Structures are given as structure tokens and as C-alpha cells.
Amino acid sequence: MGHPPTGAAALSYVMTNKHEVPRTMGQQAGRRSWAEPWKIKMVEPLTMTDRPTRERAMAEAGYNTFLLRSTDVYIDLLTDSGTSAMSDRQWAGMMVGDEAYAGSENFYHLETAIQTYYGYKYLVPTHQGRGAENLISRTEIKPGQYVPGNMYFTTTRLHQEMAGGIFVDVICDEAHDPTNRNAFKGNVDLGKLDALVKEHGADKIAYVSLGATVNMAGGQPVSMANVKALRTWGDKHGIKIYLDATRAVENAFFIQERETGYAGRKIAEILKEFCSYTDGAWMSAKKDSLVNIGGWVAVNSWEVFEELRNLVVVFEGLHTYGGLAGRDMEAMAIGTAESVQDDHIRARIGQVRYLGGLLEKWGVPMMEPIGGHAIFLDARRFYPQLKQDDFAAQTLAAQLYLDSGIRTMERGIVSAGRNAKTGDHYRPKLELTRLTIPRRVYTQAHMDVVAESVKAVYEQRESVKGLKMVYEPKYLRFFQARFEPL
Ligand code: PM9
């Protein structure tokens, strides 16, 4: 295991990203403790259930945690999407919603916030991230074009495919190995991009779809050096770079922590610099921006904006509300400003690492290094007796719920879905169960309870058998598929 590099070594760390993150860095050892930069004003009681109740609920839900009722869940780590606790300022903002059909004051506040913190010129609000994905995919993809990206995301790839695009994975190889501890496992491999241009020609490439951080790779970051290099590459070939900015604030934290020259820079500055190398972005504001609903797409080109603004009225609503209430846009504008505060993001990732640190200590196999928004358990190593077709990660999510009422999510073969042309399962190398931490919601004591449950399930791992799929919906099957125990 290496030490943080200095001098010439630091340059190679940035340029090649072959540098390993030491475990002590993952846990922020040697530094004073992180603590939440807020105190609790309102609480929501949790339900605790007994094992027979959970067994019944899990069977009724077809062993799919998405089909559980939330009242049957104790600690909900299904997703960090739309599950944040809003601040008192955001709730106050909800009270000044301007619910005019057109030209709501809150839209202009949101527009200013996105211009200020993300730096793009033109903004179109949408009801959530996939609304924005639909608009940008329809605008920028011609049928038959390739869309290279740093690992697929479920809804993103589906919209790209529905617009006639063909997704191609161009993430670095390290991202597919859960034991590899490189610092920037979200990076695009420019060699893979070059090969794609060589094979098909630049005009067959719609744009580069850049996620930061990379959700399906375990919340792994993209370096500033990589996005800069991408910009240069895009300019050379006349290919645009679009950012999935859903967790770009968390990405900025890793750049501040790991990349030479950024230690003294503010998260807000790093985020804006990162975005400046891209042509535009789409956003699920339900994550970084601390709101329960909302999204946007923003670009620098007037022509692209014109097309997006045209389309939004078909699918979402007028271009000054995009399917949202005025109050939602106000909460999003305030949440955007709160999300880039250095203390906020340090505590947010500190909590994820706290949980990961406990599991690391107990030898539980997981995706390393610990990423931004979640702990991803490595179900292949957790249950070596199960084949991928036994749905190891889905099984692990079910076992965690049965043990303690904690709800997690599969991120493996079920999430990957099927190849639309061949009908075969996509078989991702990563077979992961995600423990996703909502922002500003749970305490350190909740994390202790979660860790203890994972440990208990790990200790009983040998007796576990897998699942078989008994119902499979056509799109995004992980949401509604049903299973039975083998
Ligand atoms: N992500 C998540 O839990 C919620 C839906 S899938 C269970 O991780 C990225 C990187 C996302 C994302 C949603 C979307 C779509 C786009 N990009 O859910 O439509 O993580 O707001 O955003 C989920 P919406």
C-alpha cells in the first residue's frame, strides 16, 4: 500500500491514476473527527419489526427491496435519492413558492444558483434526473450513434438507447475490480475512446457521457486531470462532453482530498472548474442538491438550449417550471448553495467512511476504496458459493432486511438488465449490494446498528442459497422484478 505521493510522483499519480488510496486515508485517520455541521430540530419515528413480520413482508415483496412498504423498514439505505433531510432554510423557501404557471420567481433563483455554482449559461428544470436524461438524449443523439460513457447508469443508458444510441463503456479497467484501490477509478480511459473513433469515425459518436462520481462503480471519482484531458480530446475530434452532475459535489471532495494542487481550494471552486471542461450537464437534484424532488439540464450552447426548451414543454411542463412546483425550485436553489459548503460535504462523506471503516475492520468484502454516497458490499466474495445467475447481490439485500429490517439495493446483474438487441443478460463484473446513506438523515448510532447487522449476515454466509427470478418487467427490471428462494 503506498503513501500519498509528492513531487514528480504526485504528477504521475494525477496523470496515470495508478496511485492507491491508503486505508488510513479512507478513514481520515490522524485527523480530528468529522461531525455534522447542524443540529436536529424535528424527528420522524422509526418502525422496528420482528423477524416473522420481516419474513412475511419480504416474501410479499418478491424478495425485491423496492417492493417493500417503507413502514416495514427500520433503517432505509435503499437510496440517497430524494431521501435527504432539508434544512430549515429550505423549508422556509418552500413557503415562498411562486406558483405562477409562467415566469415563477423561484425559477430565476434556481437559474442563478446553477449559473453560480455549476457555471452553465442556460437552464431547463425537469421533474427529476431521468426527465433531463430524456431531453438531452433526444436532442444530442442521432439513431445509430455511439455514446461512450464511464460505466452505464440504469436510467441514463435506457434513455440513450431509446433515443437510438448505442452505449459503450470506456471507464478505466480498474473500475471493474472491487479490490483495486486506485485514487480515481471513475476515470475515462482515453485509449478506449481513441479506439472507438478509429473504428467508427468521430461523426458516429454523439457525445461523451461522463458521470462524476460513478454510481455503479461504487461512487468512485473522476480526476480533474481526466476531465481536462477529455476536453482536449473532445476539441480535437469535435465531440462534446456532457456531465451527469448528480454527485459532482461529492466528486469535488475527492479531488480536494487526493489531487495535487487542490488541497487548499474550496469545493465550490473545484466543482465550477470541473464543469467548465464540459459542454453541459444533466442533474438529479434529489442527490447532491438535498431536495426530495427535482432535476435540471443546463448547457452553454444557445442552439442546444433552444431544442431542450422546445422539448421540455412536451414531456415535463413549461421551461420555467419543468414539472416542478415553484416551491420545489426554491428548495433546490437553496439546497444547491448548501451542498457545496466544505463542512457539509466533509461530514457527509465522513459518515459513509465511518460505516465503511467498521466493515473494513471486520473483514467484510466490499468495493474499495470507499466512495462518495454508499458502501457497496462485494456479493461475489460475500457468497462465493453462489453463481451470478443465483442473484448473489439481490440475495444479500434480502438477507440484510431479514436480519434487521435494513433496506439496501442490488447493483449487479439484475440492475444491468438485458441487451436490447440480443436479449441476453448483461453480465457486469461487479455484483454489489449498495448501502446508500441518505444525506443529513441518520446518526452515527444508526451506522453502528447497520454495521452490526452486516457482520451478523456475514457470519451466517455459508448456509445461504440464492434466488430465482419469477417475474421480469421490460424496462429497468430491478425496480419491479420478483424472486423466489432457490
Ligand atoms: N439514481 C439511485 O438510487 C435513483 C434511481 S435508480 C434506483 O442511485 C445518476 C448517476 C443517478 C440517478 C438516479 C439518475 C436518475 C441519473 N444519474 O432518479 O430520475 O444515480 O432523479 O435520476 C438513483 P432520477
Predicted confidence pLDDT, tens digits, the chain (486 residues): 333 333 334 333 444 456 888 775 555 545 677 799 999 999 999 999 999 999 999 999 999 999 999 999 999 999 999 999 999 999 999 999 999 999 999 999 999 999 999 999 999 999 999 999 999 999 999 999 999 999 999 999 999 999 999 999 999 999 999 999 999 999 999 999 999 999 999 999 999 999 999 999 999 999 999 999 999 999 999 999 999 999 999 999 999 999 999 999 999 999 999 999 999 999 999 999 999 999 999 999 999 999 999 999 999 999 999 999 999 999 999 999 999 999 999 999 999 999 999 999 999 999 999 999 999 999 999 999 999 999 999 999 999 999 999 999 999 999 999 998 899 999 999 999 999 999 999 999 999 999 999 999 999 999 999 999 999 999 999 999 999 999
Q: 135 and 68 in one domain? A: no
Q: Which of 323, 339, 355 is a domain's end point?
A: 339
Rg, C-alpha atoms of the chain: 22
Known catalytic residue: 411? Answer: yes
36/485 Cα distance (integer angstroms)? 41
Is 241 within the bounds of a domain?
yes
247 Cα nearest atom in ligand 1? 10
107 as an active site residue: the answer is no
DSSP states of 49-117 as a string?
--HHHHHHHHHHTTT-GGGS-GGG-SSB-S-SSS-PPPPHHHHHHHTT----SSS-HHHHHHHHHHHHH
Please check whether residue 204 is in contact with residue 182, taking contact to mean a CB–CB distance below 8 angstroms.
Answer: no
Q: Which residues line ligand 1 (CB under 6 A)?
A: 79, 81, 128-130, 153-156, 211, 215, 244, 246, 284, 286, 295
Compute the distance from residue 284 Cα to the ligand 1 centre, in Å.
Answer: 7
Domain count of the fold of the chain: 2
Query: Which residues lie across from 214 on neighbouring strands?
Result: 220
Q: Which of 31, 47, 101, 389 is catalytic?
A: 101
Residue 268 CB partners (closer than 8 Å, separation 6+)? 117, 340
From ligand 1's centre to the CA of 470, what distance in Å? Answer: 25
Cα dihedral across residues 191, 192, 196, 201: positive or negative = negative
Catalytic residue, chosen from 262, 274, 401, 478, is 478
* Same domain as 163, residue 103: yes
98 and 226 both lie in a single domain: yes
| Same domain? 363 vs 430 | yes
Q: How far apart are CA 253 and CA 346, in angstroms?
A: 7
Closest by CA position to 149, among listed 196, 199, 218, 80: 196
Same-domain pairing of 196 and 329: yes
**Structural domain of residue 278, as residue ranges?**
89-339
Integer Cα distance of 316 and 419 in angstroms:
28
Task: Classify residue 473 as left (phi > 0), alpha (psi -120 to 50) or beta.
Answer: beta
> Domain check: are 155 and 285 in the same one?
yes
CA nearest 70: which of 362, 405, 373? 405
Q: What is the pTM of this model?
A: 0.94
Instruction: For residue 346, tell me if it sits in a domain.
Output: yes
Does the N-terminal peptide bond of residue 24 adopt cis geometry, omega within 30 degrees of 0? no
- Which residue, 300, 315, 339, sits at the end of a domain? 339
Measured in Å, residue 59 CA sits from the centre of ligand 1 at: 26
Q: At what angle do helices 267-276 and 248-258 cross, to 10 degrees?
A: 110
